[in-house]
């Protein structure tokens, strides 16, 4: 790409100190786009990337992007440029990857944005109000039933459920959430027991046939494969009492849509991991659970949340309807859906 600047300004770049770092999510299926982006950046900086070294740069970008994406949806490609050592002209580029995890992503983000106001977490992070669907399913349970809230986050469902008298266990990956949730619960004397941990950890055992409701609200969008959905559903099944409810939400693709690797990878790094209808069916196949309801999260919550609680967060509408990931496709090919199952009597 040519950059049209007056010759006098271009000459200024000789005396400029050009150095910087760019961090990008890792989407290996877009390797050629990253290459083009680096070329445009270097052209803008007045140091066109040597044509002869483009194949080598492409290989390195794809290698690092693949390493990052495989390790975590929060890994970052870190591009650092600085002046080449004299007497060489131009810039040199270093390509690295930083393997941030989901856990560290939440812990760093919350520390940065809420570090000094953790008391506001319950209503300040994922929504001001509990999910309407969660409260509707809970309303079908006998008083003082036991509930497991997996990926409880800041407690926007855990705390209101406990205030209604349900005995709630919360399992949460990020320590900043699990610690603060226990602090907030204890302060109100609520029947809440919080554990820090990963539901997908094979060593993480849940108590058997204990809960009347096992809940995953906005957790599956962080998963990486349909197999992880199956593992979570299996664990939930074991932990449910006969006739207990499993409630989760997950992004599902439209039936007539075939996602490309780019679609899947961009969604995964945008906290919108999705399955196709077939993958979801396979993930739940053979489990002794009966589907009792299924509806789009956006419609369900919009129609039932109090007007003062709508929208739950600035990004809720675009995220749940798939527009955040697919802004140019109308209607978007994915949507977040509530799925509620019941354990068979056995």
Q: For binding to ligand SAM (CB under 6 A), which residues are involved? A: 102, 106, 126, 150-153, 156-157, 171-174, 177, 198-200, 217-219, 222
Pair 94, 19: CB distance under 8 Å: no
Nearer to ligand SAM, 190 or 217 (CB): 217
DSSP 216-272: ESS-GGG--SHHHHHHHHHHHHHHEEEEEEEEEEEEEE-TT----HHHHHHHHHTT-
Q: How far is the CB of 304 from ligand SAM (least distance, A)?
A: 15
To ligand SAM, the closest distance from the beta carbon of 221 in angstroms equals 7
Take residue 237 and report the two structure tokens written for it. 């099944």
Query: How do beta strands 211-216 and 274-275 pair?
Result: unpaired
* Minimum gap (Å) between residue 150 Cβ and ligand SAM: 6
DSSP lists the bridge partners of residue 177 as: none
Q: Output 27 or 217, the one with its CB closest to ligand SAM.
A: 217
Distance CA 113, CA 121 (A): 10
Nearer to ligand SAM, 96 or 193 (CB): 193
Of 328, 327, 332, 298, the closest CA to residue 313 belongs to 298
Min CB(100)–ligand SAM separation in Å: 13
Q: Which helix (H) or strand (E) holds 36?
A: helix 31-44
What are 163's strand-pairing partners? Answer: none
Cβ-count burial 89-106 (b if 16+ within 10 Å, e if not): eebebebebeebebbebb
- For the bound state, the minimum distance from the C-beta of residue 316 to ligand SAM, rounded and expressed in Å, comes to 11
Instruction: Considering the complex, state which of residue 74 and residue 342 has its C-beta at the smaller distance from ligand SAM.
Output: 74
**For residues 46 and 153, which CB has a smaller minimum distance to ligand SAM in the complex?**
153
Whose Cβ is closer to ligand SAM: residue 11's or residue 113's? 113
Cα–Cα distance measured from residue 280 to residue 251, given in angstroms and rounded to the nearest whole number: 10
DSSP conformation class of 325: T
Place of tokens 């560290």: 104
Q: Are strands 76-83 and 91-98 parallel, antiparallel or unpaired?
A: antiparallel
Contacts of 151 (CB under 8 A, 6+ apart): 171, 172, 173, 199, 216, 217, 218, 219, 222
Question: Least distance (Å) from ligand SAM to the CB of residue 151?
Answer: 3
- 91 and 81 Cβ atoms separated by less than 8 Å: yes
DSSP secondary structure letter of residue 4: -
Closest CB to ligand SAM among residues 171, 192:
171
Between 149 and 279, name the residue whose CB sits nearer to ligand SAM.
Answer: 149
* Shortest Å, Cβ 56 to ligand SAM: 37
Least distance (Å) between residue 1 CB and ligand SAM: 38
Q: How many CB atoms lie within 10 A of CB 344?
A: 13
Closer residue to ligand SAM, CB minimum distance, 95 or 231: 231
Question: Minimum distance from CB of 290 to ligand SAM (Å)?
Answer: 24
Distance CA 327, CA 266 (A): 12
């Amino acid at each position: 790409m040519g950059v049209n600047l007056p010759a006098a300004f271009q000459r200024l770049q000789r005396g400029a100190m050009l150095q910087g770092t760019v961090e990008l999510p890792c989407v290996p299926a877009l390797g050629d786009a990253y290459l083009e982006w680096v070329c445009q950046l270097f052209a803008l900086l007045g140091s066109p990337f040597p044509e002869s070294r483009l194949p080598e740069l492409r290989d390195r970008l794809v290698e690092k992007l693949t390493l990052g994406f495989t390790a975590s949806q929060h890994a970052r490609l870190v591009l650092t440029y600085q002046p080449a050592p004299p007497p060489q002209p131009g810039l040199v580029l270093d390509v690295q990857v930083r393997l941030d995890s989901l856990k560290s992503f939440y812990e760093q983000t919350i520390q940065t944005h809420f570090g000094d106001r953790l008391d506001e977490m319950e209503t300040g992070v994922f929504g001001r109000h509990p999910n309407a669907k969660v409260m509707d399913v809970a309303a079908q349970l006998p008083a003082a039933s036991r509930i497991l809230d997996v990926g409880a986050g800041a407690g926007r469902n855990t705390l209101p459920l406990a205030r209604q008298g349900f005995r709630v266990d919360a399992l949460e990956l990020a320590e900043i959430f699990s610690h603060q949730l226990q602090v907030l619960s204890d302060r109100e004397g609520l029947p809440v027991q919080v554990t820090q941990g990963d539901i997908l950890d094979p060593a993480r055992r849940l108590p058997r046939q204990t809960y009347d409701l096992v809940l995953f609200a906005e957790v599956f969008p962080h998963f990486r494969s349909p197999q992880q959905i199956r593992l979570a559903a299996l664990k939930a099944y074991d932990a449910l009492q006969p006739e207990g409810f499993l409630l989760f939400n997950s992004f599902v693709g439209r039936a007539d849509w075939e996602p490309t690797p780019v679609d899947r990878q961009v969604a995964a790094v945008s906290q919108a991991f999705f399955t196709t209808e077939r993958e979801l069916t396979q993930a739940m196949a053979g489990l002794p659970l009966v589907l009792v309801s299924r509806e789009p999260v956006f419609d369900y919550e919009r129609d039932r949340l109090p007007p003062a609680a709508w929208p739950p967060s600035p990004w809720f509408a675009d995220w749940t309807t798939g527009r955040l990931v697919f802004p140019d496709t109308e209607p978007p090919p994915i949507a977040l859906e509530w799925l509620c199952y019941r354990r068979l009597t056995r």
